[in-house]
Structures are given as structure tokens and as C-alpha cells.
Structure 1
């Protein structure tokens, strides 16, 4: 099947008609539909499918006569879930390209000398339960099962409950002790989340590093009261401290040449004629290195406490997830450049976006390929990659796959 046919087969899954964006949240109906699509793609190619203890899907192409469990495999893929009203490409492009690459390799009559897997990691975006890369973090042991199972979505449903409703056993969650044996290298293809490639007119890039990043929950607690009957001087309105903190975060990010975003907010009691009693606000912060990220968050937190104190507001700040810098190893990058030598010089780019490849890098060799995004927009319906660039990405991944499975 061609890349275009594979791509078209999932375009309508989870799409929200009103926005044109996608709502493919972990363990939702859309997510379960995409899981069935993944299993179907594997079956059409004669690949066996495994759903591991953390809900990650693995489709295996094994060498002829292979006996026993896979080891030292070439693994590629990405994820299938989305942020709220996200774009079509973030995640699914890597999974579709992986199956398309296998089709291209097989069309040449090439058989692997080592196992090959296409993987779809569960809940990469963290859109439903608030923590990113849940599937890969559980697999590497970076996220403990007890914490993961207690995570709640906006409706109060825990991950444990969601798994049970989806027919999975939440007691199975946990680290995979065989990961480093099974995976020889993980190469993730992903749409670029920025415009660097468009600015240099190149369709593809190799990743050099992922910026350190994290999410922090700021809880501003004041006092609910009547919006009309309460004098300004008597108010303990947490919205004021929160709003001031948003401005502080922007200024601090500019000072540190970093990025800081308050993009998720929960207001209690959330009435138009009521002064809020509590504001829950999530900070997403990213920087070029870990000391800069630490200074950035410390500055935002310190200023937020000042704003809160000035408005007689209580403030609690909790780190929900912190991911250290990932510098992709030189050896896989060099091998990718060799396999793609026919394409000329390929740009090497860092990224401020987190990925499953970054999580796995603590235990296995990892690398990433980026496909040009001419809009520079991601996590939005406007996210885009040209069809010819997507095909070029699948062809490049096929060349990398060929090199890894034919050269011992």
C-alpha cells in the first residue's frame, strides 16, 4: 500500500468537525479505533502484533526462521494520540511512514537479518491525564505505575478506570526489563514542530537534541464570593495573581532565551458572576539546557509567590514532570547520514518538543528524522506537511531501515 493510501485511511478518525482538529485522547473511542487500524495494518503485512503491559503496540517483522523473542531490533514508529484539536501529523506521520517504509523495502525483495518493529506508544501527548509520554515512561521505569494509575482526566476518571473500561488490566503496568535487549535502535520520524526546514528549503532533517522541559502545576487559592456584591478591597481573587504570573512567565522566558507557556487552566467554581475560589494553571517550560530551565522556573515561581502574597492568595507549585536534556548519540546519527548520503547534506536540528525517542534514549540508542512543516505550526489544525515531503520522509526511513537490516 502506498503512503498516500495509508494516510488517507485514518484522516477522519477523531476529527472534530467544528474545528477541523483531532481529539484522539488516550483510551478514547478514537484511540481504540486507531489501535484497531494499527493491528489491521500489521495483519495485512503478515506482522505479529503485541500490546505490551503499558498499552504500547508493537508490530513485528521477523527474519525467516527466527526462533525465540526478538532481540537487537530496528524499531521505528511514533504515537497515534493528539492534543485537543491538534493536527493530523504529530505522531501518526511516524507510524504511517513506518508501515510505508516496510512496504518500500519489501517491494525491493529485501529480507531482514534482524527483527524489525513498528511501534505506537500510548498517550504520548498527555492530553487526557496530564502527563506526557505515559507509555514510554512506564516502559523505561521513569513513571511509576502507582502514580500513573492515579492520574485523573477532566471528568475525574483515573487512568486505572480508563484502562479497565477499555478491557485492559491496570495491574499489568510497569517497566519492561527486556527493553534494552529487544531494541537495538529506535528511529522516530516526526513532523517538524517549527519552521527551520522551510527557511532553508530542505524537506528532511536529523535531530541533534531535545531541550529539557517540564510541566508544573500552579494552584492559586483565594475565596469565592459574589462578583457584584463584594467590594474590591474585600476580595481575595486568585485570578489576579495568576494573570500577573502569566506576564512574569513571558518576561522570564525572554530573559533566558527560553519558552514558558500557561496553556491549560481550570477555574473553580467557574461562574461568570462569581469570584473564583481557586485557579489551577499548568506551566510548560523549556530551555536549551537544564541549568537555564531551573533558573527560569525558579524565577517564575518566586515572582508568582510575590503576586500571590500581594493579593492575599495562597500558592502551591508542584512539578508534574521534568524531562532532562536528550543529546542523541553520534553513532546512529552518523549511520543515518551514511544511509541517506544520496540526498546530499541533511540539516541537523535540535528540537524543543518532547518525544518518545527522548524517553527511550535513557536505555537504548535513539535517533529522529524530521519532515518539513511549511507553516511552522503544530498542535493545531493548521499543522501541515506537503505530500511530496511526507513521501520523501517514508523513502528516507526505508533507506535507513534497509541499511540497518541488511548490514550486520
Structure 2
């Protein structure tokens, strides 16, 4: 399975993946998922929001145990973020059948659409729509860098955008959702553990900073006559790093758009996107508030206007304590080892769905901590340990 997925959406230059929602690479990933489901005799279906499901047993029975993740990527992302969880889910089902497990509950595997938000700027679109955390009106306004709206992209890919929206009946079928994911950090590497259980996801969000200045000639406009939005933007990037360090949080300007984007032209607009995350809401508010305050001071000093728009936000996620503890019990029952429980600053579909259904997460060790990069890596032995851990968990929950 891993070898089949590896070439899909991979850029020959960077070595990273560009599997964006509702593109050709996304279609290939979806076809692969459907093939894996049908090869195992599972019932494959696509819900109203484009999420793919593969079922063993009748999901209408309720109290289903579901696992899975996503197959899309960030720009030039790694091979493990998302796909490891989906591949491991099918592999765990194979192992359960090899063990001769008799299921008392329906078992489902899911591929959530547009988890990374690389194309339309909002993460976890498929799960947000299903859980009612993204309205139809908001979704229809999502637009990619080429001006293509989400509805147009879905139509071009052969899906009906008029059907999207909250899906409470489908979610009501699920008694537990467990997502396996490569760790995006080095906590497990530092403790020497191959697999861990997630406790919480930090609150996080994305803010757009629009610095509006005045376009002019780069060679003839005196420095004192300029209203250059690049200068307050650059100072704001440094302020974000400073405020995050003081608060023990993280803040990143990782995307920028410049108009008119000419080498010999002073920009009229610099638009930068801030991603910030912290261990608690108070710290996050403090960081973002301080960055915005500094940005407004810098903009005023350069005669530049500033608009700040919060494009997305996810509050702190505490995974279902009973389910989390059950995972730790299942994984530790045959050993004397304590299963590490750790929090993370990375968002996931499991976090979005936690407000609707009991969710939990397993992490597989990442020896370098690198993620959202072609250098992302997990050792084969650790990946197999993740499969066996997921298998044990699914057996414990579904029987």
C-alpha cells in the first residue's frame, strides 16, 4: 500500500507532495482508497462533504468504531502526515482478520477531505462541514489562489457542492473515532517510545494581516516619501517571534502575497498569514494581541493602513478522557510499560470531531521531529508498531 501511494502527487523537483483538495492528485488518492476498500470487501461510500468511508458491518447499527485520517498534503509536504493513518487503518483491519477477531460493532475507515487546507486556506474542511463547524455559506465563499471557489472546484472534480453541510445523522452512528498520526514533534523520540496517546491539542488559529501602502518606483522614490508596506510587515514577523518566545508559544508567518510583486516596484499591498498556537487560550490571546498591537504601531509609523482578519480558530481540544484512558489501558495491558500521553500543537480531524463524538489519537515516533516537509520520516519498525497498537485498540473497542 505504501509503495502504491508514494508517487501520487509527488513533485520531482522538491521531492515533496502537492496533494491539494479537488485536484488530479486528490482524485488519484481517492481512487486508491476506494480500491483498498473494495479489495477487502468493504462498502465504500462518499458523504455529502466529500469524505470517503469504508465499512465493515452495517453503520446504521450505531456505536461504530472508526479509524482513519487524510490523504491530502501541505505544499511540498511529507509522505507520512495523513497517509500513515489511512494506510495503517487498512493494515490494522488485515491484522484483525488474521487474528480471527469477531466484531460486535461496525468498523469504519475514513479519509477526510481537505484536512490541510492547502488550497482554500482553511484546515479540516471535510470534518468541519460534517460537524457543523463550517456553514454552507462560509464554505461557498472559500477561494483558492487562482480565484476558484470551493463549489467550482468540487463541480470540476465531479461532486455536488449543493449537498454539503452538517451531517449529524452520520456522526451519530459513531461511538468512537481513533486517528493514528505521525508525531509532529520529538516528544516520543526523547522518551524512547515508538507509540504514544494524545491528551490534548493546543488552541490555534490563522490570522491574515493586510498592510496597504502606496505603489511607486523603486529607483526614483525617496525613502522619506515612501509608504512601503513591506517594512511594517517585516517588523511584524520579528515581533511574532519575540512574543511567542516570551509566552512559551509558537507563531509563524509562513505565507505571503505581494502586489504588484515587481522587483522594481514598491509594493501597494503585503498580505501575510500568521499561524499561532499555545498551550492555553490565555497565552494564545496574549501572543496574537501583542503581535497585532505591534503591527499597528509599525504600520502607522510608515504611513501604511492595516487590516487584521481572523480566518480560522480552533479552541483547546481535550480528547475524551474515558476513551484516552481506555487506549492507554489496552496498550499497556500486556506489558509493564507506561504508555506515554502527550499533547500536541498540531490540529487534526480528530480534534474537530471531538465536540460531536468521542475521539482519541495515537502518535507514531518521528525521530527528527520534522513535519510538513519532504524530510518528514518515520522508521518502518515504528510504523509497524503503530499498526499493531491500532490493531489492539480496534480489537478492544470493537469487540
Equivalent in the alignment of 1:3: none
**Counterpart-to-counterpart distance in 1, 2:171 and 2:216:** 56
Cα 1:39–1:180, aligned 2, differ >3 Å: closer, same or farther? Answer: closer
Equivalent in the alignment of 1:209: 200
- State the shift of 1:70 in Å: 4.2
- Scaled by the length of structure 2, the TM-score of the pair is 0.98
Q: Does 1:349 align with 2:354?
A: no
**Counterpart-to-counterpart distance in 1, 2:168 and 2:188:** 38
- Scaled by the length of structure 1, the TM-score of the pair is 0.96
Equivalent in the alignment of 1:388: 381
- State the shift of 1:404 in Å: 1.0
**Counterpart-to-counterpart distance in 2, 1:149 and 1:8:** 36
- State the shift of 1:258 in Å: 0.3
Equivalent in the alignment of 2:18: 23
**Counterpart-to-counterpart distance in 1, 2:230 and 2:122:** 24
- SS of structure 2 residue aligned to 1:178: helix
**Counterpart-to-counterpart distance in 2, 1:127 and 1:230:** 37
- State the shift of 1:334 in Å: 1.5
RMSD, aligned CA: 0.9
Cα 1:179–1:202, aligned 2, differ >3 Å: closer, same or farther? Answer: same
Equivalent in the alignment of 2:318: 327
Equivalent in the alignment of 1:262: 253
- State the shift of 1:338 in Å: 1.9
- SS of structure 2 residue aligned to 1:270: coil
Q: Structure 1: state its 5+ residue gaps.
A: 1-5
- State the shift of 1:141 in Å: 0.6
- SS of structure 2 residue aligned to 1:185: strand
- State the shift of 1:69 in Å: 2.0
- SS of structure 1 residue aligned to 2:60: coil
- SS of structure 2 residue aligned to 1:316: strand
1:50 to 45, 49, 54: 45
Q: Does 1:399 align with 2:392?
A: yes
**Counterpart-to-counterpart distance in 2, 1:137 and 1:201:** 34
TM-superposition CA deviations, 1:100-147 (whole Å, max 9, x none): 000000111112111111001000000000000000001111111111
Equivalent in the alignment of 1:375: 368
- SS of structure 1 residue aligned to 2:5: coil
**Counterpart-to-counterpart distance in 1, 2:78 and 2:68:** 17
**Counterpart-to-counterpart distance in 2, 1:334 and 1:308:** 49
Equivalent in the alignment of 1:225: 216
- SS of structure 2 residue aligned to 1:69: helix
1:278 to 269, 275, 284: 269
**Counterpart-to-counterpart distance in 2, 1:331 and 1:177:** 22
- State the shift of 1:91 in Å: 0.4
Equivalent in the alignment of 2:64: 73
Alignment coverage as a number of residue pairs: 397
TM alignment of 1:94-133, pairs within 5 A: 94-133=85-124
- State the shift of 1:180 in Å: 4.0
**Counterpart-to-counterpart distance in 1, 2:353 and 2:157:** 26
- SS of structure 1 residue aligned to 2:279: coil
Equivalent in the alignment of 1:359: 352
2:229 to 230, 238, 255: 238
Equivalent in the alignment of 1:9: 4
**Counterpart-to-counterpart distance in 1, 2:22 and 2:102:** 35
**Counterpart-to-counterpart distance in 2, 1:358 and 1:235:** 45
- SS of structure 1 residue aligned to 2:388: helix
Equivalent in the alignment of 2:241: 250
- SS of structure 2 residue aligned to 1:319: strand
Equivalent in the alignment of 1:305: 296
TM-superposition CA deviations, 1:149-176 (whole Å, max 9, x none): 2111111111111001001111011001
- State the shift of 1:179 in Å: 3.9
- State the shift of 1:285 in Å: 0.4
- State the shift of 1:201 in Å: 1.1
Q: Does 1:37 align with 2:32?
A: yes
- State the shift of 1:310 in Å: 0.3
Equivalent in the alignment of 2:125: 134
- State the shift of 1:349 in Å: 0.5
Displaced runs of 4 or more, over 2 A:
none
